[in-house]
Structures are given as C-alpha cells and as structure tokens.
Structure 1
C-alpha cells in the first residue's frame, strides 16, 4: 500500500510538471499552486459562482468538487497541452450543472492557462452585482508573502489611457492594494525584487472574453478572476480563460514575449503596426506635456498657431498631432461633437488640413456619451 501511494504521488508530480521552469501542481482537494523552480509563487483560493442572486463556493462546499480528471488537447496556434479538469456540482432547485475548471500546461509556451466552463444552463441573476465585482471565480490566488525569503513586487496597468492613467506598483504582500477597480483592471506583473526586475516574472492576464471578464481583489487579500458582476445572464456553454505566463528574462523582454504569445494565439501580426505612419515617422505632438497642450501662441488662435508651427519647424515631420483641445466635449471630457470648435479652428478641420498640407493625427476621447454620439454619426477623415 505504501508503494502504491508513492507511485501515485510520483505520477501526479510528473503529470503536472510544465514547460521550462514553471510548474503547476494540483492536490486531491482541488487546490493548485504555481511554482518557479523550487519556490511557490501562487497558491489557490476558492472557486465560486454567483447565480440566482446567491453565491455557491468551494469554500463552504455549496459548490462541491466531484472529482479531478486529466487529458490532453491541441490548440491550432499554440499546439499541444495537458488538461487537468476540476469538476464541480452546481445544485440549485433540483437542477445539477457541471462546472468545469480547466488547468492547462503547454508544451510550446511557458505558461499555465485557466479555463472555466459554466455548463449547459443559462446562469441568471435578477439583481446585478457591481461592475467592479465578478460573478464567477476561477482561478483565484492568495496575495501573500509566503516566507521571509519571499521578496516579490508587482506592477499593473489600470484605468483609462490603455491602463496608463492608474498604473501602480508595490510589494506583493497581503496589505497591498493590487487591484483598485475591477472593471478598469489590467494585466498584472509579479517579479522578484532581489533580481531588480531582471529575472523571473509572472504575467497574469485575460486569455479570452477580454471585454466581459476582470480581476478583483477581495478584502481577504485574494486575487480573483471571472465574469463581470454587472452581467445579469451568462449564456449556456460559456467559457472564459486567464493566462499565467512565465519568463526568466526580466520585465521588458518578458512583457514582449507575453505579447508575442498573445499575438500568436489570435493569429495577429505586426502588419498594421509596421504600416502605421505615427510609429514609423517623426511627428509633432500637442499632447499632454507639450508646449501647445491647451495653449496657443500669444494673441492668436489655435489655427494660426498650428500654421506657424508648420512653417517654422525645420524638422522633417510627417504628421501633426492634435490633442483633445480642438473638438466639443461633454460629461467627463468625452467627445460630444467630433468637429472643430469655431474658436479653435475658425475655418474648420478640412481647411486647416489644406493649409498645413500634412497628415493630421487627431484625438478622440470617449465615454458613454461619446458612444451614443457615434451611433448617430458617420465619421470619416481624409
């Protein structure tokens, strides 16, 4: 009997060993942890789902684990993977729905992906949770310093301007506020402070259903991932996923490798980036930080200021960037009318373009009011 236990333990370790230096292990109770080398980086918390205005959770056994199975699969872009399935029983009103949490370790990439299948029933709430909450939880991880030798930091993108507005960093410890606002949360990078960001790191990011899923942080210092709480109905056979990507090459190169992996999965290339005028050629910017950001030359309007810049600038610029100062704005400074204000460009944007004889890169700040405006407009530029 002792030999049989040792054999089963050996098989479990071998089956959960992943690509390179990142490993995932799953115990018989459905707990999982991710390690880099011989050090644990992430330990799992609960699996849960909110339906019929009620939480069902592995914590209190209202979402009990039935069993753990394993298999394999193939992704057309990323290739072969091993799949560990945590099968839960969602029982409500005599209806049993199998909820499956998949943990996939990949042969060709240094990552572990987590996928949640919500089963063959529509999962409905009549009272929504907040948009900064989530209503499915898988995976979830403790935010913690595991021991005295654990010196990890994090940084994350969050908020507007592609996450630049509220980006922040700190220690990966239970008292840190990693995620401030669920719906605005972005990818999270965890790295080793003792390596000064030049060595091992993990990147936690959505892997699918990008607009309907999010990270949240609970008041018990756990990081949870799932469907936005404000969504009332989850369709049958719904699936979403999250990636934990590993790189030994530091923050800059590691993020680039993560991006290349995401591009490969979604069959994206550098085609449009390579053809982008604003990336490949020199331009003049009136963005935040520039002298002409909400500022003109003395005694003249913005139109004459832009013409003067064009005439006096000796540099071989290929375009001129016009920031958010030129159009009509409404609530939250979003676009209300994407046309030139007469006090800014008296002759209009088209005539300014003719006078400058150069490409224009124009700002378009958006919010809910902007979306309503776009629905009723045909916007085109020359």
Structure 2
C-alpha cells in the first residue's frame, strides 16, 4: 500500500508503511497452522537507489548504506498488543513465511518482499517495496487483524517499532542535528555525531487500549535507529524543548556514549551527517501533534511513532516519518525536506509575504520589553498604566519619526483560574478604560455557547465558531496578528491533547480557520516542534518565536541561526523576540543594561521575522533602528533568513572538524538570477576562511564572478575578489560588540564596463528585494529599479574603477531607475 503523501513527489527517499487492516480475517485453525519457523537467517533482497542501498535479511534485520558506506543498522522491531510487547529481539514476533509480491499504482510498477510474522494469533506483514526508476523504498507493516491493549504506559515511548536503527559510531563518521521542545525546536536543539525515508503507520481499522500512560513514551515505534558504537561515526544536530527546538538543542557524535537528545513530548526533527556533505533530515511526515520520538537507552536505539499516552488509535489513522537525504550538506537537506513538506501540504508564502507584522517595523511589549504587561498588571511603570504607556509609545514614535506600523499588546485578558482567561475582554488592571470586546463567558460549562474541553486545572476551546467569532471581533478592533503563547504548556498538561490523536490538531486547525476567515495571521510562541510542523496545514501561521524570551544582557538568547533553518523550511518567519536599541533604560524590574543593541537589531533584520524593539519612551536609538527599514517602516530583508553554516554545525558536532568556533551565518538576496550575499559573524574564538561553497549562497552564485566588501559608518570598502583562492577571512575580532558583516556582489557588465552594485549602504541589507525590484543589464546599459515611499531619498553605491553613488529621490509613485550608462537616477 503506497500513500500518496509520500509517493507523489519525485524525491530521494525511503518510505515505510505500518498498516492495521481489517479486510482479511484469520480463523483459529489458520492461527494453529502459523507455527514458529526458526529458519536459517539468509539474505532476502538488496534494494538499490542512486544514493542509498538497503539489504534485508529473513530475520527482519536490514542495513542502510550511504555513498557505499554503512550508516545505519536496524534496531529490533516490536509491536505492543494484548498488553504484551512482541519483538524480534526475543523472537516473540514469530516468523511464519516469506512472499514476493508485485503490482502497480499511480507511481508505476512495484515489487515487494514480504516477511509475515505472528503477533499472538494475528499475522502481521513486514514489507519492503521498491519502484524501478524511483529512488524510494517502502517499509510496510500490515496488521491483517486489528489489535488491542497496545498502551505502553508512557507518553514518551511508542507502541510499535519498524523500521528502527542503532546509534552506532564505528562505521561512517557522522554528526546529528535534532530539533525539540519549543521556540521552533531551538530550546531543545541538540547537535552531535552520527537518506530520504518516509515511514508510514496506518491504522485502517483502528487500535484500542493503546495508551502507555506516559506522555513521554510512544505507543508505536516506526522507524527506529540503533545507537551503536559498532557502526558509522556520524554527527547529529538535535532540536528539542520549546521555541522551535532552540532551547534544548544538542550537537554531538552519533554514538551510544555521547548521544544526548530530547525525546518524547520534547523531541523534534534531527539531522545526521558525515564530514563530506552527506546529510539526512528525519521528521514526522503527518499527524504531527500525536507523533513522538523515543530514545530507547537500554538498547541504544532511536524510534519514531505515536505518543505513548494515546488511549486508542482510530480507524484509518496514518502516522508517517520522513528521512530525507542530500549529498550537498545539512542546510541543503533541511531545505530540500522543507520543499517536499511544503509541496505536500501546499503551504504557500502569500500570507507571510502580506503579513504587516512580519514585513513592517513594530513595537513590542512582551517579556523583555521595558513596558511589559506582566509587571504592569500589578503596578505602574513611569507612573503609567499599561494602557497609558501604549498610547504614549505611539505618540512618542511619531515625534521621533519612528514608523511603527503596529503595536503588540501582550495582554492577559480577563483572568480566570490558574492564570487562564475566562473572557476575551480587557483586563481592567491593564486597560482601565477597556477595549472594544464582547464581555461574554465562552464555555458552555460557564454559561457560554461554545464547546470547550474542561479538565480540573485547564480547558481548551474545541469549537471552530469560537475562533471565528473572536477573530471577527478582533479584526473590527484593528488586530492584524494573533499570538498564541504558552503552546507547550497547553499541550503537555491536558489529558485531551495527549490521550487523543486528533484533539490537539483540531484545536490548531480550528484556530487557523478562524483567523483565515477574518484576515488575521498567527504567531506561535513557546511552540514545540510538533506545533511548528503542524503549521504546514495552517497557511495563516506566518511566524514563530525562534528564541527564548529576550532579557537585557540575555546571554545566548539571540542565537537563532539553527532554529531559523527549521522555521523557514516550513514557510515560517523566525522571530528573535523584542530587544532594546539603547544600553541603559533604568528599568525598575530588569536591573540590567543591554550591551549589544546593534547586534540584536541586525539579527532581527536578517531573520525575515518581525523587527520589534521594546524601548522606554525617548530611549530609542532611531538612527541605528532605521538601518533595518525604509522610510515607511518596511523592513529591508534578504530573501531568506540568516542561517548557521554547515561548517559551524559540523565543528560543534565533531569538535575537530576545523570549522568556525562561534556564530557564523549567511543569507542572500536574489534578483533575476543574481545573488547578493551576506555573511554575519560574531562570538568568534578562532580564525576561519569562508569559501564560496561554504557560504550557501544558492544555486546561481557559482555561475557569477563575485566580489566581497564591508561597510563602515555607511561607507563601503573597495570590493575584492571572492573565490576559493580569496575567501572571506573571519577572525576572533568578530565579537558581539564588534560583529562582522561581509557582503558579496556579482560582477555586472554593459558594453566594456564592469560594475559591482554595492547598494544602500546605510542599511543592514544594502541590496534588498524590498528596495530593489529588478536589475537589468544589456550591451548598452545597466539599470537598477528601486521602490519605496514617495519622496524618499535613497543613496545607492556602486564600484567601477572607484566607489561612487547615486542619490535618488523616489517619484510620487514611489519608484526610481538608476541608469549607469547615463550615470544618473531617474524618478519614474
């Protein structure tokens, strides 16, 4: 059985399918005939793809090879049924027979080797299917009869395990990257040492009594990888906990001695890699809210499956896992994985591209901001209520010429028990004069008209109409984006969300539909990786926190180079969180100064997410802040977020890779097949040379002749060649208070004249798609088209034989054209 969600795309992958099928019943007489057959173990089949090879033996063991080297060895397969764990390890999974099968489906002709085992009295088919001409193999687990009593008693383990692989360090030398926990997996991100695989778990007939009674366990385990010191020496980057997996990330070597990773509820996607550019990215492929990972420390194995606290699995339920392979490195593997996932779920970019809070400068009052509502609900700050402070922030911004297009109200609405909300109306401690809002209890249990799931300590809205009505009222008040905070707490601490495979997904889908109907977008905060992946089905989720909460002088909070990789792959703009633009603001709560305001500003700008300072009145460094933006507050972004270089990840994982020791990120802007690169370096403790291939500047970059330059006080340096022989030299002088930005520019020509466009050097991103709409070169001229606000002045630099610039005043329509042949800027 091939599922369209894995097989419809021409992708290099392995696919595995676990099916519970009712169609064929088995009588007691048939069961008695299925006696254990301890036949001699023999090689059954070798499945070849251009990048991978899998060998399958009759005892249900299998090995995976990448580039001719053994990377992964299978872990024992298991199934929990009738309250018993049946496993190939102790042969309680009883071998019956082997069959060959063939057929055709929408992908074409397929052949399959099937190993049939008995789970108690029920036959189960383990299948390995391949398609000629397609780089894919399907692992299948077919339950001919339904099974019951599958619970493992744990939320963080699984019910069944096939396929699974050992964590083994003596074969290929690999590293790993894994996401987990919240803030886009950034809180639980892990890196260390350690193809494309789609693993399917299908329950056409359902399964009951499946709970493991532990949210950190899983009730089914497929696929699984053994962590074994006798296999490849790989590296890993593991993401975990919250904020897109950033707060629990770990890097290291893929072996049983050093493997430390977040699993269960806090687990997330993981990358495995060697030193030569081969990389895998592994994640759930569907049913994200009920999918979990489990590290079985007792046998050094790693499994994917359904969360162990789930009480029953309904008929037709599919759980899927994808392992994606790239020969071009970690960034390429995650990017390719993301393209596959976005294609599968049709996650388009137009909601993000039109989101005013993502694209324009905004003011934020969340934790870390000077006027943070958490403190102002109990006392005044600067002798003002929160309501008064927000009004004065708006007035002060106009006085100072700061083009805030929105203000974030981090508002706890009318309080209920345990810091929950009983009504969507203004908290009188924060808004004494109130906000426009219906003062209505919502839950039917409280006399309202909407369905809620109510438990002893928490409740969950479970009614699409609630979100539609709330967001309709919010839209009338001028709200543009809804921020759902504390997502991990809501999910982890309710029985309904962790005991049922659908409730948590339904909650987020309903929220998204309500927002979509009313023209709102959604930001996820304190989101676990499961929430980030679930956003693939919710197009209005345009942004998510990729970092922990900002605090002045907040250590490594700003390090989002890796969590941005995961966020962007699923079409989410990663948000660094708020920041102060000046060092000293004399807060009565934080008792700290901000030593690196410019660094926070540039990271926010390069992130593709919101740029949202949270300064005290009259304490904003306007000149520095406006380096992010055009005159009207439009953020001048690159084409993708700045992300950690593979070399940084591999150095962190292997320890002796020879890569950069510090934060070394890159991004770029693209126009008409031209690429303008940006390299950001800080916190460096060693010297490192960045060659063009190291910089991940996209496919068109290698076809260009490139130069590199820097900018100091708005003045560009003379560009120099950027090539393998002349790399970018990063030094230990690139530190937080003196971070380094390097810019690349392609050589452009018209006639016999060569030009390097250096751009608007007063901005963090001097050549941005938000400013430059196109670049045209022919035999007679080089033309650069600019856009912005009517009357806005743009000073645009270039180099031919010396540094020169054109000062443009944009036309009433907000456009201008620079003609280099005519050596002037024309308002058009």
Instruction: Bin the TM-score by the shorter chain.
Output: 0.7 to 0.9
Provide the residue aligned with 1:299 in structure 2. Answer: 383
Provide the residue aligned with 1:276 in structure 2. Answer: 355
d(CA) in 2 for partners of 1:104, 1:340: 59
Q: Residues 236-287 of structure 1, C-alpha deviation per residue, up to 9 Å, x if partnerless?
A: 6654322111012322332121011112233443343334333333333334
d(CA) in 1 for partners of 2:416, 2:61: 50
TM-score with structure 1 setting the length: 0.76
d(CA) in 2 for partners of 1:176, 1:337: 49
Q: Match of 2:339, SS? A: helix
d(CA) in 1 for partners of 2:327, 2:420: 41
Asked whether the equivalents of residues 132 and 182 of structure 1 are also in contact (C-alpha less than 8 Å), the reply is yes
Check if 1:245 corresponds to 2:349. no
Check if 1:318 corresponds to 2:439. no
d(CA) in 2 for partners of 1:40, 1:60: 25
Provide the residue aligned with 1:35 in structure 2. Answer: 65
Provide the residue aligned with 1:24 in structure 2. Answer: 54
Q: Match of 1:256, SS? A: helix
Asked whether the equivalents of residues 80 and 107 of structure 1 are also in contact (C-alpha less than 8 Å), the reply is no
Check if 1:156 corresponds to 2:186. no
Distance 1:54 1:222, change over 3 A: same
Q: How does 1:5-154 map to 2 (within 5 A)?
A: 12-13=45-46, 16-18=47-49, 20-65=50-95, 66-67=97-98, 69=100, 71=102, 74=105, 79=107, 84-92=112-120, 95-102=121-128, 114-121=139-146, 123-125=147-149, 129-147=153-171, 149=173, 150-154=232-236
**Which piece of structure 1 moves more, 260-269 or 292-301?**
292-301
Provide the residue aligned with 1:309 in structure 2. Answer: 393
**Which piece of structure 1 moves more, 158-167 or 339-348?**
158-167
Distance 1:337 1:298, change over 3 A: same
Aligned-CA RMSD value: 3.9
Who wins on radius of gyration, i.e. which is larger? 2
Asked whether the equivalents of residues 284 and 322 of structure 2 are also in contact (C-alpha less than 8 Å), the reply is yes
**Which piece of structure 1 moves more, 311-320 or 55-64?**
311-320
Asked whether the equivalents of residues 115 and 240 of structure 1 are also in contact (C-alpha less than 8 Å), the reply is no
Asked whether the equivalents of residues 48 and 54 of structure 2 are also in contact (C-alpha less than 8 Å), the reply is yes
User: How far 1:180 moved relative to its partner?
Assistant: 3.1
Q: Which runs of 5+ in 2 are unaligned?
A: 1-41, 174-231, 438-473, 498-505, 521-828
Provide the residue aligned with 1:4 in structure 2. Answer: none
Check if 1:167 corresponds to 2:245. no
d(CA) in 1 for partners of 2:137, 2:423: 45
User: How far 1:72 moved relative to its partner?
Assistant: 6.0
Check if 1:213 corresponds to 2:291. yes
d(CA) in 2 for partners of 1:346, 1:115: 61
Q: Residues 152-172 of structure 1, C-alpha deviation per residue, up to 9 Å, x if partnerless?
A: 221223333443443333221
Distance 1:72 1:128, change over 3 A: same
d(CA) in 1 for partners of 2:317, 2:145: 8
Distance 1:106 1:165, change over 3 A: farther
d(CA) in 2 for partners of 1:345, 1:88: 66
Asked whether the equivalents of residues 116 and 241 of structure 1 are also in contact (C-alpha less than 8 Å), the reply is no
User: How far 1:131 moved relative to its partner?
Assistant: 0.9
d(CA) in 2 for partners of 1:218, 1:154: 17
Report the number of matched residues: 355
User: How far 1:91 moved relative to its partner?
Assistant: 3.9
d(CA) in 2 for partners of 1:161, 1:200: 27
User: How far 1:104 moved relative to its partner?
Assistant: 5.5
Provide the residue aligned with 1:185 in structure 2. Answer: 267
Check if 1:365 corresponds to 2:486. yes
Q: Which runs of 5+ in 1 are unaligned?
A: 1-7
d(CA) in 2 for partners of 1:274, 1:83: 44
User: How far 1:71 moved relative to its partner?
Assistant: 4.0
**Which piece of structure 1 moves more, 129-138 or 278-287?**
278-287
Distance 1:116 1:126, change over 3 A: closer
Distance 1:104 1:277, change over 3 A: farther
User: How far 1:34 moved relative to its partner?
Assistant: 2.1
Distance 1:82 1:168, change over 3 A: farther
User: How far 1:63 moved relative to its partner?
Assistant: 1.3
Q: Residues 121-161 of structure 1, C-alpha deviation per residue, up to 9 Å, x if partnerless?
A: 1x221865211111111221111212485542212233334
d(CA) in 2 for partners of 1:267, 1:124: 35
d(CA) in 1 for partners of 2:429, 2:301: 52
User: How far 1:288 moved relative to its partner?
Assistant: 4.4
Asked whether the equivalents of residues 112 and 243 of structure 1 are also in contact (C-alpha less than 8 Å), the reply is no
Q: Residues 5-42 of structure 1, C-alpha deviation per residue, up to 9 Å, x if partnerless?
A: xxx98x944xx111x42333323332222222012222
d(CA) in 2 for partners of 1:32, 1:146: 17
User: How far 1:343 moved relative to its partner?
Assistant: 1.1
d(CA) in 1 for partners of 2:137, 2:387: 53
